[in-house]
Amino acid sequence: MTEMVYGTVRTRTGEPILPRWWRTVDRWTIVCIFALFGIGLLLGLAASAPLAEKHSFAPTHYVERQALFGAMGLTAMILLSMLPPEAIRRLATLGFVAAFVALALLPIFGQDFGKGATRWYSLGFATLQPSEFLKPVYVVFCAWLIAASSEVSGPPGKTVTLALTGVVVGLLAIQPDFGQSALILFSWGVMYFVAGAPMFFLIALAFAVLGAGMLAYNSSEHFARRIDGFLSTEVDPTTQLGYAANAIREGGFLGVGIGEGAVKWSLPDAHTDFIIAVAAEEFGLLLVLVIIGLYFTVVFRSLARLIVERDPFVRLAGCGLVSIFAVQAMINMGVAVRLLPAKGMTLPFVSYGGSSLLAGGITLGMLLALTQKRPQGAIRDAFRGGAL
Amino acid sequence: MTFWRRATPPREATPHPVPVEQPVPHELGAAPHGQEEIGKDGEPRRTPLRPLAQILWARNEGQNPDGIAQANLTKRNAAIADRSRTRAQGRLFMLGIGFFCAFSMIGLRMGHLAASDPVAPRASFSGANIDSTRADIVDRHGRLLATNLPTHSLYAQPHHMIEPEKAAAALAEIFPDLNAAKLKEQFTGARKFVWIKRTLSPEQMQAVHDIGEPGLLFGPREMRLYPNGALAAHILGGTSFGAEGVHSAEVIGIAGIEKALDARLRDPAQAGDPLRLSLDLTVQSTFEQVLHGGMVLMNAKGAAGVLMDAHTGEIVAMASLPDFDPNDRPAALTSGDASDSPLFNRAVQGLYELGSTFKPFAAAQALELGLVNAQTPIDTTSPLVWGKFKIRDFRNYGPSLSLTDVIVKSSNTGTARLARDIGGVRQRAFLDALGLLDPVPIELVEAGSARPQFAERWSEIHTFTISYGHGISSSPLHLAAAYAPLVNGGHKVTPTLVQRSRAAPIPAGAQVLRPEVSRAVTDMMAQVVERGTARFAQVEGYPVAGKTGTAEKPLSRGGGYHEDKVIASFAAGFPADDVRYVLVVALDEPVETSGEEPRRTAGWTAVPVAAEIVRRTAPLMGLLPEIDVEAPPGLIRTSN
């Protein structure tokens, strides 16, 4: 009777969103990402002050902007991490179309800000780098196609994505942005590898990348200068690399102290590409190892989760996303320690940069969504009896 | 719709009794129910018959065959997924290890860097490193001939300048050769980089410092310094800046041995190892001094001399006058005759018809061939007529002279007749063996272009004239090299400026004359000094054996010779009894005017200069004078 009058008590059919999210999401990764962002803000306080001073801004101008973009990026991450994989796939496909168009139109509408590469759209209050946003959605889109190709009568996903990768890399190379090109190629290679690529093909691919690199070296002044700078045995201390290496040496194990570093005054990109040098100089090897540890924790947690994943799409997209995240971090730090030639690549979540932070949030949000704990049909296997 | 042979039940949860037909036993054994049979390519093997049978069976049973096909497909996809999952597990594991290694490497590298000491910034360029090292050059005793001096270049970065106009004016005051207006234009224009001076003295640098302009900057670099000024200028040559950068500049040789051995001097591996020349600084200095005095005294417009070790070919001293200061090399002449420039090395580049100094070659070859001996009378009837040419002697020496006297009196007709007996082919081969027909392979960049000039068609008249040094042009250095076998026992030498280590001495050259022939020719030339044309070459304590040569200079337009312009030369070996050194002195257009009429012959011009050189340099080179121990003691007649 009561029910007839007042209606039935509203009951949920499924599990509430937040508890389910909290239960299934990889909380370690979230903690690591927040820690990285916190470190980034801390370093930004030191590293971006000289630049702010140069442009007559308040000393904390860039830190405030980074906090704002970071909040946006982290929000995007949390929101995306609540979505089911199917929704991620749909959004990423739409996002890929948008980012691809944006990338293709860069030569017409883009800005180069005097840095010798047309990579940005100017939006007035901020600049937007489409290639940053392209990376995660490209990975998810390709993962979808490759996963589908493994089904009986599936589309030829591997071939299609290879062609697509060629087009994207070509668009990036004409900016020129060889770092992002390498990243895109690498992430495709990882997905193809995990999807069961023949070893022979992977080796051939490695040679092809080498050949393309040589071609770029011979035809692009921009590229050749950086490789030359890397290959010369004596590092010139007046180059960015020299300053970065010297800063790491100055820092030693415990650093010269907060705000005491000198490299940020010499390096124009101290707050972006060479933030790790600032970290090493002011806080020493200790903080650098903490940062590396945080990145590796994220990578390790994700891979450990993906290794038991049943769904090929989730597996591929997950390892693609985690590899662009990890490789970007590795390239950035590898440049600072001269393991790699100089590349304009940010350190995810630590470097200053609106596009980088937002895109990083999207990447990690998608990764978290894909690595949520889900039933993996292990019981079904048990019933299937003797299968594999 | 594809029909597959092995249609097992669609789901494990709903086991379906599929009747298994009986065709091939091993297939049955391989695939018990509930299992997919899989071929080696990963696809279930298909056979066309069974699905149809199965579907027929399904129809008979009233079931939908599509469901069976669908179930089949699901099954296959599940199998593929399972397989790819196992594979992916392995690969993800590998990926994880890869990432772990990469992160560890970065961490280790960071640790390695953090543990190393910071370096102070050094001046170097990545990619385009300019190496400014250059080895010193020293003489045979290790005395410095060329070294490097750290200095600074001056350049401006106008966009950093505070008061460009003031800086321009102040610079023009410090450097009188700079133009204030032009500097101001450069400083206020759009240029961001302006070179101002390549090298600065310390005083100039301080004065520029005192301007206090931040846009004026100094770049460190090394400059080449020749501490002895003009000494051995033509041998050392000079340097210039090659690739110039803000942090350093390349010093490259542009002439002389600096250019010829540029690679050796710039080799970083040998930078600390000075290049040791065969020159003797003291002897070279004396040599130049005497030669210069002789050139002035004899009113010559130029002089050249070579002093060479007769056995090894090592050049002890070599000079060409007028000379220059390699620290401040004059610009090359842009018009006129290059040989009038002080940069011109007469000793190496100057190709002259050296006249009678060639006569001993004919005598030596005739002796070597056994045609004559030193006493054989030679027909010296003058003139010797060949076609329309008439060859005359300076004086008429009568119908015949002994071979010795042909050389002592310098008879053209006698030498020409010797050459006729030798023949052109053998003469040419002999001169070639002496190195008179090719450039001298000495370590000077200028030597390569000094190829002796002679008529390629070596006719008999050429044989005649070449025997007394006309119709062939060669350099004083050629002559010195060719004289060595005449006086050293008969082996060829190759002139060199680089001192060889004792461990690796210069190998003896080919034997071109028998030792006794060499001895005989030396004796003849000693008589030239004793009683012939070179009597001024008698030096007390140092017997000299030599031959004079006075050749009229050819008209620059060709077709004849100057009457009053000669090249006077004297080629000699000393000491005559055991020749150690070969000396060649050549004066360009000398006139000795102390007598009633101007005298131009070598005996009056080149020979006294050569004698003075022997007198002054022989003791320096450690030669002991011959003292006439048999001179009777007691009363000695003196005279002046």
Instruction: Select from A152, A228, A249 the Cβ nearest to the Cβ of B127.
Output: A228
Residue B556 lies in a domain: yes
Question: Which residue of chain B is at minimal alpha-carbon distance from A255?
Answer: B114
The pLDDT confidence band at residue B2, using thresholds 50, 70 and 90, is: very low
Mean pLDDT of B100-117: 87
User: Are B413 and B430 members of one domain?
Assistant: yes
Q: What is the pLDDT of residue A236?
A: 54
Q: What does the pLDDT look like over A183-223, one tens digit per residue?
A: 998 899 889 888 888 878 778 878 888 888 888 878 777 77
Name the percent of chain B in helix, strand, coil, to the closest 5.
40, 20, 45
User: Are B272 and B350 members of one domain?
Assistant: no
- Dig out the tokens for A146 from the structure: 């490759």
Distance CA B478, CA B34 (A): 104
Residues of B in contact with A253 (CB under 8 A): 114-115
Q: What is the pLDDT of residue B350?
A: 87
Residue B108 lies in a domain: no
Spatial CA neighbour of B67 closest among B49, B80, B52, B55: B55
Residue B271 neighbours by CB distance under 10 Å: 16
Cβ separation B89–A307 shorter than 8 A: yes
Instruction: Select from B80, B96, B114 the Cβ nearest to the Cβ of A284.
Output: B114
Instruction: Select from A248, A330, A338 the Cβ nearest to the Cβ of B103.
Output: A330
Mean pLDDT of B601-610: 90
User: Are B476 and B440 members of one domain?
Assistant: yes
Asked if residue B81 lies in contact with residue B36, where contact means CB atoms within 8 angstroms, the answer is no
At residue B122, does pLDDT exceed 70?
A: no
Size of interface A-B (CB pairs under 8 A): 150
Asked if residue B107 lies in contact with residue A286, where contact means CB atoms within 8 angstroms, the answer is no
The pLDDT confidence band at residue B307, using thresholds 50, 70 and 90, is: very high
The pLDDT confidence band at residue B30, using thresholds 50, 70 and 90, is: very low
- In angstroms, the separation between the Cα of residue B98 and the nearest Cα of chain A is 11
At residue B190, does pLDDT exceed 80?
A: no
User: Are B413 and B462 members of one domain?
Assistant: yes
**The most confident of A14-28, A288-302, A369-383, B448-462, by mean pLDDT:** A288-302
User: Are B224 and B360 members of one domain?
Assistant: no
Q: Are strands B400-402 and B377-379 parallel, antiparallel or unpaired?
A: antiparallel
At residue B335, does pLDDT exceed 70?
A: yes
The answer to whether residue A323 neighbours chain B at the CB level (below 8 Å) is yes
Among B253, B277, B301, the domain-final residue is B277
Distance CA B251, CA B244 (A): 9
Amino acid at A253: F
**How high is the ipTM of this complex?**
0.88
Distance CA B105, CA B247 (A): 34
Mean pLDDT of A41-62: 82
Residue A272 neighbours by CB distance under 10 Å: 23
Residue B472 lies in a domain: yes
B356 is annotated as an active-site residue: yes
At residue A365, does pLDDT exceed 90?
A: yes
Domain of residue B186, residue span? 137-277
Mean pLDDT of B175-182: 86
In chain A, positions 141-170, which contact chain B (CB-CB < 8 Å)? Answer: 150-152
User: Are B468 and B517 members of one domain?
Assistant: yes
User: Are B259 and B367 members of one domain?
Assistant: no
Q: What percent of chain B has pLDDT over 90?
A: 22
In chain A, positions 282-321, which contact chain B (CB-CB < 8 Å)? Answer: 284-285, 288-289, 292, 295-296, 299-300, 303-304, 306-310, 312, 315, 319
Torsion, Cα of B286, B291, B296, B299 (10° steps): 170
Question: Which residue of chain A is at minimal alpha-carbon distance from B123?
Answer: A236
Cβ separation B85–A194 shorter than 8 A: no
The one-character DSSP state at B390 is E
Question: Which residue of chain A is at minimal alpha-carbon distance from B108?
Answer: A289
3-class DSSP state of B369:
coil
Cβ separation B99–A299 shorter than 8 A: yes
Best of A303, A325, A381 to substitute, by most chain B Cβ atoms within 10 angstroms, is: A303
Cβ separation B93–A236 shorter than 8 A: no
Q: What is the pLDDT of residue B125?
A: 42
Query: Residues near B634 by Cβ (< 8 Å), separated by ≥ 6?
Result: none
Helices (H), chain A: 2-6, 17-24, 27-47, 49-54, 61-81, 85-104, 106-109, 130-149, 157-173, 178-194, 199-219, 221-231, 240-251, 263-266, 275-306, 312-336, 354-370, 378-384
Best of B126, B129, B247, B248 to substitute, by most chain A Cβ atoms within 10 angstroms, is: B126
Spatial CA neighbour of A136 closest among A369, A368, A371, A362: A362
From A244-248, B293-297, B326-330, B406-410, the region with the lowest mean pLDDT: A244-248
Instruction: Select from B34, B76, B105 the Cβ nearest to the Cβ of A339.
Output: B105
Q: What does the pLDDT look like over B41-83, one tens digit per residue?
A: 445 555 445 656 777 777 788 877 777 778 778 888 888 888 8
Distance CA B620, CA B313 (A): 18
User: Are B161 and B288 members of one domain?
Assistant: no
Cβ separation A152–B84 shorter than 8 A: no
From A110-114, A284-288, B121-125, B367-371, the region with the lowest mean pLDDT: B121-125
- Structural domain count, chain B: 2
Residue B131 lies in a domain: no
Cα distances (Å, whole numbers) of residue B297 to A8, A93, B301, B567, B604: 136, 100, 11, 15, 11
Distance CA B275, CA B184 (A): 45
User: Are B568 and B428 members of one domain?
Assistant: yes
User: Are B316 and B443 members of one domain?
Assistant: yes
Residues of A in contact with B96 (CB under 8 A): 299-300, 303-304, 307
- Dig out the tokens for B67 from the structure: 């469901």
Asked if residue A334 lies in contact with residue A292, where contact means CB atoms within 8 angstroms, the answer is no
Spatial CA neighbour of A91 closest among A380, A362, A379: A362
Residue B204 lies in a domain: yes
In chain A, positions 242-261, which contact chain B (CB-CB < 8 Å)? Answer: 242, 245-246, 248-253
Instruction: Select from B88, B119, B126 the Cβ nearest to the Cβ of A228.
Output: B126
The pLDDT confidence band at residue B303, using thresholds 50, 70 and 90, is: very high
Residues of B in contact with A239 (CB under 8 A): 126
* Burial status of residue A238 (CB atoms within 10 A of its CB: 0-12, 13-18, 19 or more): middle
- In angstroms, the separation between the Cα of residue B485 and the nearest Cα of chain A is 54
- In angstroms, the separation between the Cα of residue A303 and the nearest Cα of chain B is 7
Among B248, B278, B320, B356, the one annotated catalytic? B356
Q: What does the pLDDT look like over B342-378, one tens digit per residue?
A: 889 989 988 888 888 999 999 999 999 988 888 888 8
Q: What percent of chain B has pLDDT over 70?
A: 86
At residue B99, does pLDDT exceed 70?
A: yes
Mean pLDDT of B504-519: 84
Question: Which residue of chain A is at minimal alpha-carbon distance from B14?
Answer: A384
User: Are B271 and B296 members of one domain?
Assistant: no
Question: Which residue of chain A is at minimal alpha-carbon distance from B78?
Answer: A151
User: Are B482 and B530 members of one domain?
Assistant: yes
The pLDDT confidence band at residue A298, using thresholds 50, 70 and 90, is: very high
Best of B103, B105, B116, B248 to substitute, by most chain A Cβ atoms within 10 angstroms, is: B103
The pLDDT confidence band at residue B7, using thresholds 50, 70 and 90, is: very low
Q: What does the pLDDT look like over B208-252, one tens digit per residue?
A: 988 888 888 888 888 888 999 889 899 998 888 877 777 777 788
Nearest 5°: phi and psi at B66? Answer: -60, -40
At residue A48, does pLDDT exceed 90?
A: no
Average pLDDT value for chain B:
82
CA–CA–CA angle B494, B500, B506 (5° rounding): 45
Residues of B in contact with A250 (CB under 8 A): 118
At residue B6, does pLDDT exceed 70?
A: no
Q: What does the pLDDT look like over B521-580, one tens digit per residue?
A: 999 999 999 888 888 988 888 999 999 998 888 877 666 787 788 899 999 998 988 899
CATH code at position B184 = 3.90.1310.10
Q: What is the pLDDT of residue B199?
A: 84
Instruction: Select from B77, B109, B125 the Cβ nearest to the Cβ of A339.
Output: B109
Residue B574 lies in a domain: yes
